[in-house]
Amino acid sequence: MWRFACWLESQQLGTCFNQTEQVLYAYMNHLRDTGSAPTSASHFVESLRFCNQIFKFQKMDIGHVLSTRVTGASHSMFLKKRKLTQAPAFPVRAVQVFEQICISASEPHKRVIAGALMFSIFACVRWFDAMRIEELFQDSYDTIVVLEAATALHKTSMSKESKTRLLPYTALGTFLEEEFGPGATEFSSHSCKM
């Protein structure tokens, strides 16, 4: 709204709380013509609706001024937004560094952090979900270590029923450095301190 108020001031058009549909459409064109961010018009429309809900405009009919023409201009700008792409893959070398820290760092806090990151990577867990792990178990056989974790708060837990069910996560506790073999239980033991 501040940007809109500044534009109105530069055009000497008065307050941002008493405008016509024509002025709002001219502002949409201004945003498009000056190369504003593709989401700026839709953010403006949302903020105008928000202000109407909070302040209850007396002289401006929000349904009339946010006409199909104005919201259509906002939508056409939004469609020019860059498509979301997946982040680049985590390099193997970075994972090896975390593994080295987890296994041989002298500071325990570094081992715990590296262990948590390693678990998130190898269990394919979102960091936000990993922060809410309630249970963590370690199982091993010979040189194979398996970590199992569970959480009730995760990305897909929307209903009351799903919030009472634990979602399991599983990761191998032996990773890239073959020479460590059973020593990878260091990862497991430090991950248990998450």
- Which token pair is 92? 């193997």
Determine the pLDDT at residue 36. 92
Determine the pLDDT at residue 38. 92
Determine the pLDDT at residue 95. 85
Determine the pLDDT at residue 50. 93
* Side chain identity at residue 167, one-letter code: L
d(CA 14, CA 59): 13
Among candidates 114, 112, 122, which has minimal Cα distance to 98? 114
Which helix (H) or strand (E) segment is 115 a member of?
A: helix 108-122
Rounded to the nearest angstrom, the gap between the alpha carbon of residue 155 and the centroid of all alpha carbons in its chain is 11
Cα–Cα distances in angstroms (integers) from residue 192 to residues 26, 147, 148, in the given order: 59, 9, 10
pLDDT per position as a tens digit, 142-165: 877 788 887 766 555 566 665 566
Determine the pLDDT at residue 188. 52
Those residues of the chain that have pLDDT short of 70 are 152-167, 174-194
Determine the pLDDT at residue 162. 55
pLDDT per position as a tens digit, 66-95: 999 999 999 999 999 988 888 888 888 888
Which helix (H) or strand (E) segment is 49 a member of?
A: helix 40-55
DSSP 8-state secondary structure symbol assigned to residue 165: S
